[in-house]
Chain A
Amino acid sequence: MKLTIKTVWVLLLCITAKYSSAQTDIDAIMMEKNAFCVGPGYSYSSWKNYWEGAKKRENLNLGTVSTQMFAVMGNYGVSNKLNVLFNVPYVVTKASAGTLRGQSGLQDLSLMLKYRAINQKINNSRIALFGLLGGSLPMSNYNADLLPLSIGLQSKTAMARLMLDYYYDNKWFATASATYVYRSNVTLDRDSYYTDQFILSNEVKMPNATSYNIRAGYRTQWLIAEAVLNNWTTKGGFDITQNNMPFISNRMNATSLGANFKFVFRKLPQLSLTGGASHVVAGRNMGQSFNVNGAVFYVFDLNKKEKKDKQGTN
């Protein structure tokens, strides 16, 4: 048997891609004070080819490996400058060939604080700077040691992100962000394991990671259409050896390209639809996955008394 990575996808989805472009932790959109945006989302990703180290290959004993994610995500405006975001995903994995059973379960809860430090208008443009802090925590005792069919990595993460948004003529935008992700060690149901050396412990040292994200396109109150470039780089870790299974502390890198949209109903502006797709164009120790996703969001105004005292800040 030999397997691959996929789980990272799940992790990546949590950390970066999220559902397209609706007030997530990776875009420049803020919820106004006391507004609560929440909704269900779904994503499907699959891959047939993967990178074993730098070598691209397929595995007939896995066929196509797919991951479905059902999630509830939300964003609450503590103030116009500070938002709290969460994501609760349920993940289902499956391999189309071979004998290994797919896995499913509640994966990792992620929480983010998003703070807009600068929001400066200059002529026709506006520049905004954001700082984000957050992390993720496994919500169930799922088994992380059967990649690529595990639903997650069991690592607790903490992350910090700096994000810059440039907005022109109230229509065109570009957003760039850089993220550092700390990943805690993970304990496996093992007595020992081999990375690039033999380790007599059940604890696995998890390398940290960085992520870069650039997105640009058209953005108004009613419609967003954007292209996204995302890179995830694990700082350390080791390559999958030939014909080996992937391991949670592999060096997992991926660069993906994608596009997203968001549509807001004019007759019911609280309601919006988002959707998107992305494809991995380069990677290491990861599946070359194609991902599609969609979500429905509804914004509740919890601002009972002082309604309309502040305008949406977009």
Chain B
Amino acid sequence: MYINIKQITAAVLICVTVVSCSKEIAERTKNTPALNPANIDLNAGTWKPVLLSAPDEFAVAAPGAASGPGYTAELNEIKGYQKSMTGVQKERLNYWSAGAVFRWNEIMRGLVAKYNLPPFQNPDGTYPVPDANNPFNNPQFPFANPPYASRAYAYVSAAQYDALVAAWHYKKLYNRSAPYKINNTITTLLPQSDLPSYPSEDAVVVGVMIEMLKLFFPGEQATIQQLATEHKNARIMAGMNVRSDIEAGEALGRLVAQKFVTRARGDRAGAAVGTPAIWQQMETQTAATGEMPWISQESPKRPAMLPLFGRVRTWLFDSATLVTTVRPGPPPSTKSEKFKQEVAEVLHYSKNATRAELAIVHYWADGLATHTPPGHWNAIAADDFVGQRFSEVRWARNMALLNMSMMDAAIACWDAKFAYFNPRPSQVNPEIKTWTGLPNFPSYTSGHSTFSGAAATILGRIIPARKTAYENMAREASLSRLYGAIHYRSDCEEGLKCGNVIGGYAIARANLDGAN
């Protein structure tokens, strides 16, 4: 042999080592520890709800006595589970223990990412509209684009918050202790707390999710039901709740959710797609002012995304305030010198963006098949909230503030986009090529900037120590759209400011909701 056998062996060994390397991904929240609140917020039943007229608007019956045979049977269920728990069951128990609001927020971001895909065109070049009654058809329902996603996150978070405020009211009222406090033969697998266990806060969240996701992701019922069952059982297995805590919580969650479903059905989002006549009118009336109107650059031309989303009902201010106070002033005229300069700046980034700027473009792109920009801010919030050790009800309150802000940001941004109907840079100058997908709706203002401005403002109120960090992130997210050559600087700056204003309304609410 010409070549040393040792060398061959070494080469083969290297090869085998490389191949056997584990490729498993360490997801960043996989091993999030069990929620162990720094403060159980025992008085959260007095916090101001979003839609409920009072925390006891929906009745929850008093629990049975903790001494009778019924309760003993419930304890036996826990013991039965704990006697023969499998490794998989333990793993799932730990998964859910990280927090109900936290885990379901994550699950929902996954659903948004799964459904964030635009319909494929018909053979005649038109596009089908997703239909809630046929979620499995082509196209699937929903197309979970950023406005849709912001609305779903907001309703779910707000409903969870109201339902948990109600739950906390009954917890304090009935004051039933956790099973491990009532009976010392019950082993707890998770951190103990003094929070009364009836109704179960986890089951409240489950009840809300089951009802809300029927509306927002009707094609996912099978998966949702499976997760719901697993979550509820995990709490019983962990010795944290007895079955009656769970059942009362789920029932309460479902009832509160119904109230939010009713609001959603009447919030005008169902009409946000518009009609061909409305689409044409927007173009015509902008052209009549002498400004260049937006035109779809997709092929075949796709109707703009949800042109009437700006008329959807807001959470934090009313529709008059939206138009008079929140709506940004007009963009630079498409005939002005300032506009020319801004186009030139976009062209500059289109040709010369640095690798570092491109990393920013892609980090914040949150385009197709992602959880969208509002989802990204939910992820940022969730990662930070874990470290804050919030109670479930405070988690829900903070998520509700964040997501109501971002849905209002979507409404305000879409209102501006379709009021001004401003063309994209690449429409004005075909030399401008983009570093990321070009969104199919008018340019002014930037959605990313508006979402980020709103999110950073309210998050800075929730975790003051991170205020500057959030502001920096928002500015980076905003500029990412300029670097990506899909927005003018005005779109980004005015969007960010508008978002900040909306975040201010959320702060005003936070100051008065009784949670401080």
Binding site for B on A (CB under 8 A): 1-2, 60-61, 79-82, 97-102, 113, 115, 133, 141, 143, 145-146, 158, 160, 180, 182, 184-185, 188-194, 197-201, 203-206, 208, 241-245, 247
Contact of B350 among A82, A101, A200, A244 (CB under 8 A): A101
Return the CB mask of B1-20 against A: 1 if under 8 Å, else 0: 01100001001000100110
Q: Is B283 at the interface (CB under 8 A from chain A)?
A: no
- Bound-state CA distance A79–B3 (Å) is 9
Are A143's CB and B106's CB within 8 A? no
Asked whether A100 and B434 contact (CB < 8 A) given A133-B11, A198-B114, the answer is yes
Are B23's CB and A205's CB within 8 A? yes
Asked whether A203 and B25 contact (CB < 8 A) given A101-B435, A243-B117, the answer is yes
What residue of chain A has the Cβ atom nearest to residue B430's Cβ? A99
Are B25's CB and A146's CB within 8 A? no
- Tell me which residues across on chain B come within 8 A of A190, comparing CB atoms: 362-363, 370
Asked whether A185 and B25 contact (CB < 8 A) given A194-B369, A245-B368, the answer is yes
- Tell me which residues across on chain B come within 8 A of A1, comparing CB atoms: 298, 367-368, 437-438
Are A81's CB and B2's CB within 8 A? yes
- Bound-state CA distance A145–B358 (Å) is 11
CB distance from A147 to the nearest CB of B (A): 12
Q: Is B109 at the interface (CB under 8 A from chain A)?
A: yes
- Tell me which residues across on chain B come within 8 A of A206, comparing CB atoms: 23
Asked whether A200 and B379 contact (CB < 8 A) given A158-B15, A182-B18, A242-B120, the answer is yes
Q: Is B29 at the interface (CB under 8 A from chain A)?
A: yes
Binding site for A on B (CB under 8 A): 2-3, 8, 11, 15, 18-19, 21, 23-30, 106, 109-110, 113-114, 117-120, 138, 140, 297-300, 350, 355, 358-360, 362-363, 367-371, 376, 379-380, 426, 432-438, 485
Are A191's CB and B368's CB within 8 A? no
What residue of chain B has the Cβ atom nearest to residue A241's Cβ? B117
What are 30 sample pairs from A and B whose C-beta atoms fall under 8 A apart?
A2-B118, A2-B368, A61-B299, A79-B2, A97-B299, A99-B433, A100-B437, A101-B434, A101-B485, A113-B11, A115-B3, A115-B8, A133-B15, A145-B362, A158-B15, A158-B18, A180-B19, A185-B23, A191-B363, A191-B379, A192-B109, A192-B370, A194-B114, A198-B106, A200-B27, A200-B106, A204-B25, A241-B369, A242-B140, A244-B368
- Tell me which residues across on chain B come within 8 A of A199, comparing CB atoms: 25, 27
- Tell me which residues across on chain A come within 8 A of B298, comparing CB atoms: 1, 61
Asked whether A200 and B28 contact (CB < 8 A) given A1-B437, A60-B299, A193-B370, the answer is yes
CB distance from A139 to the nearest CB of B (A): 14
What residue of chain A has the Cβ atom nearest to residue B15's Cβ? A160
What residue of chain A has the Cβ atom nearest to residue B19's Cβ? A182
- Tell me which residues across on chain A come within 8 A of B3, comparing CB atoms: 79, 81-82, 115
What residue of chain B has the Cβ atom nearest to residue A197's Cβ? B110
- Tell me which residues across on chain A come within 8 A of B28, comparing CB atoms: 200-201
- Tell me which residues across on chain B come within 8 A of A191, comparing CB atoms: 363, 376, 379-380
- Tell me which residues across on chain B come within 8 A of A61, comparing CB atoms: 298-299
Are B299's CB and A143's CB within 8 A? no
Known: A1-B438, A193-B369. 8 other contacts (CB 8 A): A100-B435, A100-B438, A143-B358, A190-B362, A191-B379, A205-B23, A241-B369, A243-B120
CB distance from B270 to the nearest CB of A (A): 23
Contact of A205 among B25, B368, B370 (CB under 8 A): B25
CB distance from B216 to the nearest CB of A (A): 16
- Tell me which residues across on chain A come within 8 A of B297, comparing CB atoms: 98-99
- Bound-state CA distance A200–B25 (Å) is 9
- Bound-state CA distance A2–B297 (Å) is 13
What residue of chain B has the Cβ atom nearest to residue A52's Cβ? B120
Asked whether A99 and B15 contact (CB < 8 A) given A61-B299, A201-B26, the answer is no
- Bound-state CA distance A82–B4 (Å) is 12
Are B117's CB and A198's CB within 8 A? no
What residue of chain B has the Cβ atom nearest to residue A196's Cβ? B114
- Bound-state CA distance A190–B370 (Å) is 10
- Bound-state CA distance A242–B140 (Å) is 10
Are A244's CB and B117's CB within 8 A? yes
- Bound-state CA distance A158–B2 (Å) is 24
CB distance from A194 to the nearest CB of B (A): 4
- Tell me which residues across on chain B come within 8 A of A189, comparing CB atoms: 358-360, 362-363
- Bound-state CA distance A303–B3 (Å) is 19
CB distance from A189 to the nearest CB of B (A): 4
CB distance from B470 to the nearest CB of A (A): 15
What residue of chain B has the Cβ atom nearest to residue A156's Cβ? B18
Are B113's CB and A192's CB within 8 A? yes
Of the listed residues A60, A97, A189, the one surrounded by the most CB atoms of chain B closer than 10 A to its CB is: A189
- Bound-state CA distance A156–B510 (Å) is 49
Asked whether A198 and B355 contact (CB < 8 A) given A182-B19, A185-B25, A244-B368, the answer is no
CB distance from B61 to the nearest CB of A (A): 38
Contact of B24 among A145, A198, A205 (CB under 8 A): A205
CB distance from A314 to the nearest CB of B (A): 17
- Tell me which residues across on chain A come within 8 A of B362, comparing CB atoms: 143, 145-146, 188-190
- Tell me which residues across on chain B come within 8 A of A205, comparing CB atoms: 23-25
Of the listed residues A101, A180, A190, the one surrounded by the most CB atoms of chain B closer than 10 A to its CB is: A101
- Tell me which residues across on chain B come within 8 A of A79, comparing CB atoms: 2-3
CB distance from B295 to the nearest CB of A (A): 13
CB distance from B85 to the nearest CB of A (A): 25
What residue of chain B has the Cβ atom nearest to residue A160's Cβ? B15
- Tell me which residues across on chain B come within 8 A of A242, comparing CB atoms: 117, 120, 138, 140
- Tell me which residues across on chain A come within 8 A of B437, comparing CB atoms: 1, 100, 245
Are B27's CB and A60's CB within 8 A? no
CB distance from A306 to the nearest CB of B (A): 16
